[in-house]
Each structure stands twice: as structure tokens, then as C-alpha cells.
């Protein structure tokens, strides 16, 4: 009763703040565009608190109990508070449910957070290897299908090309030569004691096939086999054989090791990073499938894909399969991006929860609105978002008569949300707000040293103004020797429009 009284008092306070004209215009006052409080206010010991709702100020506790699945998508531009939300969410999930978390970290954004939280950091490419041919408890043919699907996503390898079949045959031969029974669905104890082959064995098999084709004078087959071998060999070169050595990373251990940040920045290209992400996701999915569902409270594992566009975009990716398969694996896939068009529409159509933070470009807002079909009121609220404010779209497992999309006040995180302002007053009326940590990360990605970054941050925070002119910021970066092309890409990346970019450089 005390809790209901509190909510009633807050609701009354909100009503008192509205003028009579507001009440006349807002016909939603009787049925506000929010779910009823019993669908928003979850039990604190079995849900994750995020923020209060915008209109009725009800504490929103996330739980997947009434949703179609526990999977989540988070969308927001750089500095909107996206990673702040993700970090707070994972921290509270660990406290409430004892959940583990595996972050597939493209740019090293979560390294400091993992250190501060006592988590484990795995730096792929610095002495850490993952054998692409590890079975992870699967039958060889099932793993071969996954490997081929990953190569299809990353390379020009389709079911119509003969190279695909040559790689499949070489994989089958490599597993057979290592003593695995290809026909067995369960390798049992004997299979678990065998050492899986590596891509280097696969390349040797293709080399032998190439030599036979040359000897037979079969020029067409020779070209096809050479092409197949070269596709695989690129992942076995010395110094880049991260997937062609026996594994030093055990995915089954990572899924129960608390917070694990798998950093991919040391891998040489997005192709290598995507292969790592796809493989980790495949092995985690298989691990959770093998362990099966339990009656324990909450979720055992969160897997975070942040800006993993290659994994989240392709319809053949396991990310799409996991989201479509719902809740049966008892883990949550959390996909975060600043560009919603980089994520396959099937993810937005099937996740149980969508969190929308500040967006800069109209085409992104229109894309989300067309996907989620929310009202003018919600769209106008998103247009006015500051740092940390969000809209939530929930897909309930049963049909409802209340809105499934509603607005939140600023996210209540585990640490203070430090907001800085990029001042555009010399160019236009509006300024831009950013979460300080996310703006710092973008500046580090640009290549700033710690000293250069500290100088800029000091300038922003001096006098506790938390503000810097965009002209002054670009001037400091220009004087530090950064090329105009880099600065233009940086400005675009943080959401500055082309017209403003032109004005900035005209002023400089």
C-alpha cells in the first residue's frame, strides 16, 4: 500500500504541473501512453531498475517474464548514454540475478569498466587464440555447417560456387584424419579426448588437391581449388593465425566467469573481428543449448554485441537465429548500435525489448518508427531527447490494450552521468550534449594521446561549465596535427551535419 501511495502522490504531482490547456490537448491523461504500473514496476529482487517513466514517474524495472524473449536492442548516437546504459544494466543483472556477461568488444570501449568491476579481459590477438575447428560439443557436420556459414558471411562464398564444396570436403577430411566420427551426433568421452584439427591442416589438404588438379591438367578445377585454398589460407598466415592454432580461450569457461570483456581491437581487420565474433556467438549458443533451461530465477548470461554490424546485419548470422528462437536458451543477446540500419530488421522485429536513446538523423528516426509503429507523441519525445533519456518498446507475450512504447526520464546508472555540451552557438541555436566517457572514447579512437585528451577534458570541465565550443575543439585537434579528412569523419561520427561541418572549416 505504501508503494501504491507513493506512485499516486507522484502521479498527482505530475498532474499539478500540467496547465488546463495541456490537459485539454492531451486526451491521453485518462489513459496515458504508458503501460499500467503493474507492468512497469517489477519486483526489485527479480528485475532490473533503469529509470522512471516520463509521464507518471513510475520506476521502470525491466524483466523478461511477460515478454516474448529476453533479447534487447539499444540504439543511440555517440554520447547519448548508450554504453552507460549497457554497463549499468549488466552491473545490476549481476547483483540481482548473479548473471554472467560476455562482451564482444569491437573497439575496447568496455575495458576500463571491466577492470573497475573486477572482470576478466581477454585480448584477442595478444597470445589468445581460438581454433575455428573447435567442436564445442557439436557433431563435426554441424560445426562444418557453422564454419561454412561464417565464411559465406565474410567472403564471396555462396552455395553456387565450387570453392564452397572444396572447403567443405577439406574440413570433412581434416576431422576424419584427426579421428572424429563424422556420422556420430554425440562424440562422447572418446571425442572429447581427441584434438581437433586446425585450418592449417585444411590448407594442406587443399594444397594436395591443387597438386592433383595440376598433374591431371584440369585447369578449371585447378583455378577453383586455388581460389578455395586462398580464401582459407588468409587466416593461417604467420602472425595472423588467430583461428588456426589450438585454442587458448575456452568459451565454456567464459560463460560462467562473471564479467568477461573480449577485446578485438588487436585483430588486423573487421573481417578478422567479425570471424571472432561469429565463432564466439556460435560456441556460446551451443553451450547454452547443451546446458538447457533451468528453473533458476533470472538469466544466466548476457552477450553484448556493440557496433558489431557485420554480425548483426547478415540474415545468415547466428545473432538473427538466436533472436528468432526466443527464450529457450535462457540467455540474453544485447545488440547495441548508433546506426539502426546496420542491424538486420529481423532483430528489431523479434527482440523483446528495444531501447531508443538520442538519434541525430531523420532517416534513422523514420526507420525505427516504421519498424516499431509508435505514435507522434513518442516521435516528438525522441526528437527532444537529451543525454540518457530513452524510449522503450516492449513486445509482450500476450496481446495488450495499452501502449507498448513509452518514454523514460534520464537513465539512473550506477555512477553519476557526466554530461558535457558541445557549443554550436556561433553556428546555430542548438548545442549538442554528450556522455563524457563516450566522447572521450571517440577522441581516443581518433588517435589522441592521454595528454592531449586530458587537455581537452580539462578545457571542457574548467569552472564546472562542462562545455566547449565546437570551433575550439576542432581548432585544438587541427593544431595537434590531425588531417581534415579525419576531423570530418569524427564530426560526422558524433552526429554533426554536413552544413555545420562546412561552416566549421570555413571559420577555421
Mean pLDDT of 108-123: 87
Please say if the pLDDT value at position 20 is more than 50: no
Between 16 and 447, name the one with better pLDDT.
Answer: 447
Long-range contacts of 43-47 (CB under 8 A, 24+ apart): 44/96, 45/96, 46/96, 46/97, 46/297, 46/298, 47/96
Mean pLDDT of 390-418: 84
- The candidate with the shortest Cα–Cα distance to 129, out of 56, 34, 232, 199, is 199
Please say if the pLDDT value at position 446 is more than 80: no
% the chain with pLDDT above 70? 89
Mean pLDDT of 349-356: 92
Q: pLDDT grade, residue 49 (50/70/90)?
A: very high
Of 141-155, 204-218, 283-297, the one with minimum mean pLDDT is 283-297
Q: pLDDT grade, residue 186 (50/70/90)?
A: low
What's the pLDDT at 17? 46
Q: pLDDT grade, residue 6 (50/70/90)?
A: very low
Instruction: Say which residue the cell 543449448 belongs to.
Output: 289
* Per-residue pLDDT tens over the stretch 246-260: 998 888 888 888 999
% the chain with pLDDT above 90? 31
* Per-residue pLDDT tens over the stretch 203-243: 999 999 999 999 988 888 999 999 999 999 999 998 899 99
Please say if the pLDDT value at position 23 is more than 60: no
First-to-final CA distance of the chain: 62
Mean pLDDT of 12-27: 43
Please say if the pLDDT value at position 201 is more than 90: yes
3-state secondary structure at position 247: coil
What's the pLDDT at 495? 75
What's the pLDDT at 27? 44
Please say if the pLDDT value at position 419 is more than 90: no
Mean pLDDT of 419-439: 75
Calculate the average pLDDT of the chain.
83
Of 121-135, 139-153, 461-475, the one with minimum mean pLDDT is 461-475
Q: What share of the chain is helix, strand, coil (3-state, %, to 5)?
A: 50, 15, 40
Instruction: Say which residue the cell 565454456 belongs to.
Output: 252
Q: pTM score, two decimals?
A: 0.78
* Per-residue pLDDT tens over the stretch 54-84: 888 889 999 988 899 999 999 998 888 888 8
- The candidate with the shortest Cα–Cα distance to 170, out of 185, 148, 154, 191, is 148
Question: 3-state secondary structure string, 427-449?
Answer: CCCCCEEEEHHHHHHHHHHHCCC
Of 66-75, 157-166, 171-180, 244-253, the one with minimum mean pLDDT is 157-166
Q: Which three cell numbers stand for residue 270?
A: 573487421
Amino acid at each position: 500500500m505504501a508503494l501504491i501511495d507513493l506512485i499516486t502522490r507522484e502521479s498527482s504531482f505530475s498532474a499539478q504541473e500540467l496547465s488546463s490547456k495541456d490537459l485539454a490537448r492531451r486526451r491521453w491523461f485518462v489513459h496515458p501512453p504508458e503501460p499500467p504500473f503493474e507492468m512497469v514496476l517489477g519486483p526489485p529482487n527479480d528485475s532490473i531498475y533503469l529509470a522512471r517513466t516520463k509521464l507518471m514517474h513510475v520506476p521502470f524495472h525491466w524483466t523478461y517474464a511477460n515478454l516474448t524473449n529476453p533479447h534487447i536492442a539499444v540504439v543511440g548516437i555517440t554520447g547519448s548514454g548508450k554504453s552507460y546504459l549497457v554497463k549499468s544494466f549488466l552491473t545490476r543483472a549481476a547483483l540481482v540475478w548473479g548473471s554472467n556477461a560476455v562482451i564482444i568488444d569491437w573497439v575496447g570501449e568496455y575495458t576500463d569498466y571491466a577492470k573497475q568491476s573486477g572482470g576478466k579481459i581477454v585480448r584477442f590477438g595478444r597470445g589468445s587464440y581460438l581454433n575455428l575447428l573447435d567442436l564445442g560439443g557439436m557433431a563435426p557436420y554441424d560445426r562444418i555447417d557453422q564454419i561454412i556459414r561464417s565464411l559465406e558471411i565474410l567472403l564471396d562464398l555462396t552455395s553456387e560456387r565450387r570453392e564452397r564444396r572444396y572447403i567443405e570436403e577439406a574440413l570433412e577430411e581434416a576431422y576424419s584424419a584427426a579421428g572424429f566420427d563424422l556420422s556420430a551426433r554425440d562424440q562422447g568421452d572418446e571425442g572429447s579426448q581427441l584434438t581437433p584439427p586446425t585450418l592449417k591442416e585444411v590448407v594442406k589438404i587443399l594444397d594436395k588437391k591443387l597438386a592433383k588438379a595440376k598433374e591431371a591438367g584440369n585447369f578449371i578445377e585447378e583455378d577453383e581449388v586455388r581460389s578455395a585454398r586462398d580464401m582459407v589460407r588468409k587466416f593461417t598466415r604467420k602472425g595472423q593465425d588467430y583461428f588456426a592454432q589450438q585454442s587458448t580461450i575456452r568459451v565454456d569457461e567464459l560463460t560462467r566467469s562473471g564479467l568477461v570483456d573480449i577485446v578485438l581491437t588487436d585483430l588486423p581487420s573487421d573481417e578478422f573481428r567479425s570471424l571472432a565474433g561469429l565463432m564466439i556467438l556460435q560456441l556460446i549458443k551451443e553451450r547454452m543449448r547443451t546446458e538447457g533451461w533451468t528453473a533458476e530465477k533470472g538469466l544466466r548470461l548476457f552477450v553484448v554485441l556493440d557496433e558489431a554490424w557485420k554480425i548483426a546485419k547478415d540474415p545468415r548470422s547466428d545473432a538473427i537465429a538466436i533472436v528468432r528462437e526466443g527464450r529457450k536458451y535462457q540467455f540474453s543477446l544485447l545488440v547495441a548500435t548508433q546506426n539502426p540500419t546496420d542491424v538486420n530488421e529481423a532483430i528489431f522485429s523479434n527482440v523483446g525489448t528495444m531501447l531508443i536513446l538520442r538519434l541525430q538523423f531523420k532517416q534513422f528516426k523514420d526507420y525505427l518508427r516504421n519498424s516499431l509503429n509508435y505514435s507522434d507523441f513518442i516521435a516528438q519525445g525522441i526528437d527532444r531527447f537529451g543525454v540518457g533519456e530513452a524510449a522503450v518498446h516492449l513486445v509482450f507475450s500476450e496481446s495488450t490494450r495499452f501502449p507498448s512504447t513509452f518514454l523514460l526520464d534520464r537513465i539512473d546508472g550506477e555512477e553519476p552521468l557526466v554530461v558535457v555540451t558541445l557549443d554550436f552557438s556561433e553556428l546555430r541555436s542548438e548545442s549538442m550534449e554528450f556522455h563524457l566517457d563516450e566522447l572521450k572514447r571517440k577522441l581516443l579512437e581518433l588517435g589522441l594521446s592521454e595528454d592531449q585528451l586530458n587537455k581537452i577534458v580539462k578545457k571542457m570541465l574548467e569552472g564546472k561549465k562542462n562545455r566547449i565550443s565546437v570551433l575550439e575543439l576542432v581548432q585544438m585537434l587541427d593544431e595537434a596535427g590531425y588531417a581534415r579528412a579525419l576531423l570530418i569523419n569524427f564530426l560526422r561520427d558524433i552526429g554533426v551535419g554536413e552544413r555545420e561541418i562546412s561552416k566549421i572549416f570555413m571559420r577555421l
